[in-house]
Structure 1
Amino acid sequence: FIITEREDNTGAIVGAVVLTILIVLFLGVLGFLYIRFIKKDPPILSEITGNDELIDLNRTTLTCQIMDFKPNNIEISVCMRRFGEEVIRTIYTWRSGGHLTLVKISRDDGGGDEDVVGMEEGRQLMNGSAGHENIPLQLEVTPVISRKNLGAFTCQCSLQITPSYDLDKEAELSVHVKHPALTSPVSVQRTLKVTGGETLLFYMKWF
């Protein structure tokens, strides 16, 4: 009989296990970095919330949540189509600039000037409409962006409006969002229910 010693492969086995663990950790780090810094996620829009009924010439706040988007690169447009109009008009546009900065840009005189506040860019485009005396909706928009886990962002977009019963009753107000992860903008819309003006008209008619 010939007796041979069994080869000790413990070192090779340990080395293979360690190598496998390192590869898994490396792939995990790559996956985390991809999700954290490279992967693009499109925004999800909530409904435009606020009071169901708006009062004539009373300032009120409506809110739209823009959620879970990456990177911080969105363009928000507020659009409006008054009752009887065929064309949807853009009345406000704002673009994030990669900074977590509160921006408040207000103009209700129908101007198209550009303002830069806090390193962010905002533009309000107020275009008149025939038959409505070229009077724009009084609007102030405040987008506030915050960072969530894994690098995702959320934007709370507050719309402070002063609706007119005569002009804005049954008007369609919508929020449109562009983002690099989208092939076309996403949007939500709401029909404005304005009350209060009919009471004044009744009073003027009979008194």
Structure 2
Amino acid sequence: MANKQDKNWGFPRFFFALLEAASRLLKAKRKFPNKSAIRLEKTDYLGYNRENMQIGATMSTNRLAWDEYFAAQALLIANRSTCKRAKVGAVLVKDNKVISTGYNGSVSGTEHCIDHDCLVIDGHCVRTLHAEVNAILQGAERGVPKGFTAYVTHFPCLNCTKQLLQVGCKRVVYINQYRIDDYAQYLYREKEVELVHLPLDDVKKAIAQTDLV
């Protein structure tokens, strides 16, 4: 009989014990520091000095414009190139959001020009995929939206021009005037694609005017 009572009443007793413990906690007086006594220590965190931080302080207006911002990314990406002859970078952007990036290099898993001589035929290295093509292929995994802007370090060649237009490019911002093809220019005009030349010196100047350098 005792075992039966323990079985029937064990849980209710445990439940009431919990309620009693909770009640004692609620009645206990917990001491909190006065809000006015709370202050942040003057320490550096991730490069920001809290001593210099002020509520409502005005941020620097030396911000990069969008074109310089994405063009600078293309220049940085170009440094991943494995081609000896020209380092090219490309960034595809829609609504100020990066869709994909690319740089010129060999087919993944094959020999690179930096490890061997460039395989040049008719004045072109046939070993590498161009930066614009790599960016398109990378973006194809998630889908490339129509009406994007291509930021490239060099004026796109004719083949890259055709591929950019075919996937819906509506604006090209290029840094270096490299081997500008007449028919490529014609295609851009026919498709009413805006061409913007953003010289390297202008990108450097914009970066130099920021607070980063």
TM class by smaller structure: under 0.3
Structure (1 or 2) with the greater strand fraction: 1
| Length-normalised TM-score, structure 2 | 0.24
| Length-normalised TM-score, structure 1 | 0.24
- Name the larger-Rg structure: 2
